[in-house]
Amino acid sequence: MNDQKSPKRSIKMSDVAREAGVSPMTVSNAFKHPAKVVAETRERVFSVAARLGYVPNLMAGNLASGRSNIVAAIAPSIQNSNFAGMIIGLENTLRARGYHLIISVVDKIEREFEAVRALIGRRVDGIVLTGVNRDDATRTMLVNAGIPLVETWDLEGPFIDMGVGFSARKAAKDITRLMIASGKRRIGLAGYEVSNNRRFQERVIGFKEAMMEAGLSPNLTAFVPDWSGFSGGRLAMDELLGREPLLEGMFCFTDVLATGALFECMRRGWDVPGRFAIAGYGDYEIAAEVPPGLTTIHTPGDKIGEAAADMILRRINGGDTSDMIIDVGYRLVVRGSV
DSSP states of 184-215 as a string? --SEEEEEES-TT-HHHHHHHHHHHHHHHHTT
Fold agreement between 13-57 and 168-298: no
Q: What is the mean pLDDT of the chain?
A: 89
pLDDT band at 236 (very low <50, low <70, confident <90, very high): very high
Q: Which residue has the higher pLDDT, 118 or 6?
A: 118
For the ranges 61-70, 183-192, 206-215, which has the lowest average pLDDT?
Answer: 61-70
Per-residue pLDDT at 58? 56
Per-residue pLDDT at 77? 82
Bridge partners of 102?
72
Bridge partners of 165?
327
The CATH code for residues 168-298 is 3.40.50.2300
What is the bridge-based pairing of β-strands 126-130 and 149-152?
parallel
DSSP state of 37: S
The CATH code for residues 13-57 is 1.10.260.40
Bridge partners of 192?
224
Contact residues for 172 (Cβ-Cβ < 8 A; gap 6+):
202, 203, 204, 205, 206, 207, 210, 251, 281, 297
CB 205 within 8 A of CB 303: no
Domain edges within the chain: 13-57, 69-165+301-328, 168-298
- pTM here? 0.78
Instruction: Check if CATH label 3.40.50.2300 holds for domain 69-165+301-328.
Output: yes
Q: How confident is the model over 56-81, as pLDDT tens digits?
A: 765 555 545 557 889 999 998 877 77
